[in-house]
Amino acid sequence: MSSDKKIAIFFDCENVSSKYLDEIFVELAKVGQVMIRQAYNDWSSKLSRTWSEKLPMFAIKPIHISANVSSKNVSDFQIVIDVMNTMHYSNVDTIVLVSSDSDFTSLAIEIKSKAFEVIGFGEKKTPDSLKNAYSTFYELPLKKELEKSSSNVDIIAILINAINSTKGEDDYAYLAQIGTFLRNKNASLHPTNFGSDSWSNIFREYPAIFEVSYKDNIRSRIMVRLVEHIDF
């Protein structure tokens, strides 16, 4: 993903914790510059205190949603309106939604249909329908390191499938093509969700399964192939 993106981020404060703010912005710094930062909540509520205290630290603009019977819908509608206006009248090319609410699935699909990058951050409870609507989805909290355990059998199988689906006649697959294949297959298939900064680092953790090599002498194009035929 390019690191020169112009980003607008929208926080659904009722559906995600403020404790993730730091790691969200650290991750987005790898993607590009965050131009617009807006958070939606009933800021008169005592329940919003933890969010209110952190907004100035991250230069986030609070958008007040008045408390009433349909406040949840009002909040969702306001985010939709502001996202669409931002797409039309700002120079951003990437929209970020921070929410675990399935109600934003249609919005994510619409954003992507307009050729915008749409990134999602949400907790484990985020439904698959919303995760898969994004270009890229990050599960909160972000994993800090790769957990090499039996639970990683699934990702090994996924990576083997990605190599077999993108490899050439020499059995090598370019890392860039693998990343694109995985992202197109499932928005949650991002190395950050498995505790690593890159797919290449994950491949290198399993030298008995994956062989990492380079196409050129300047080591700029990484290639991967299976050490031997493995059935998963």
Q: What is the mean pLDDT of residues 114-130?
A: 95
Summarised one tens digit per residue, pLDDT across range 198-216 is 999 999 999 999 999 987 7
- Other C-beta atoms closer than 10 Å to the C-beta of 173 total 22
Say whether both 23 and 109 belong to one domain: yes
| pLDDT recorded at residue 229 | 57
Of 175 and 47, the structure prediction assigns the larger pLDDT to 175
Q: What is the mean pLDDT of residues 131-140?
A: 96
* Contact in structure between 158 and 189 (CB atoms under 8 Å): yes
Summarised one tens digit per residue, pLDDT across range 24-34 is 999 999 999 99
| pLDDT recorded at residue 147 | 63
Q: Which of 140, 172, 199 is the last residue of a domain?
A: 140
Say whether both 104 and 41 belong to one domain: yes
Q: Into how many domains does the chain fold? A: 2
Within-domain flag for 31: yes
The residue type at 59? A
* Contact in structure between 92 and 6 (CB atoms under 8 Å): yes
Instruction: Say yes or no to pLDDT of 232 above 70.
Output: no
Say whether both 129 and 211 belong to one domain: no
Within-domain flag for 86: yes
The residue range of the domain holding 110 is 5-140
Summarised one tens digit per residue, pLDDT across range 9-52 is 999 998 899 999 999 999 999 999 999 999 999 998 888 899 99
| pLDDT recorded at residue 150 | 45
- Using alpha carbons, select from 188, 47, 28, 49 the residue that is nearest to residue 94: 28
Within-domain flag for 183: yes
Say whether both 182 and 78 belong to one domain: no
Say whether both 37 and 115 belong to one domain: yes
Say whether both 25 and 45 belong to one domain: yes
Q: What is the mean pLDDT of residues 163-176?
A: 94
* Contact in structure between 34 and 98 (CB atoms under 8 Å): no
- Using alpha carbons, select from 191, 189, 77, 187 the residue that is nearest to residue 133: 187
Q: Which of 140, 171, 205 is the last residue of a domain?
A: 140
Token reading at 131: 């995760």
Say whether both 51 and 13 belong to one domain: yes
For the purposes of burial, counting CB atoms within 10 Å of the CB of 144, is it exposed (0-12), middle (13-18) or buried (19 or more)?
Answer: exposed
Within-domain flag for 145: no
List 36's β-bridge partners, or say none. 8
Look up the pTM and report it.
0.84
Range of weakest confidence among 32-36, 116-120, 181-185: 181-185
| pLDDT recorded at residue 221 | 86
Residue for token pair 């399993």: 206
Say whether both 130 and 212 belong to one domain: no
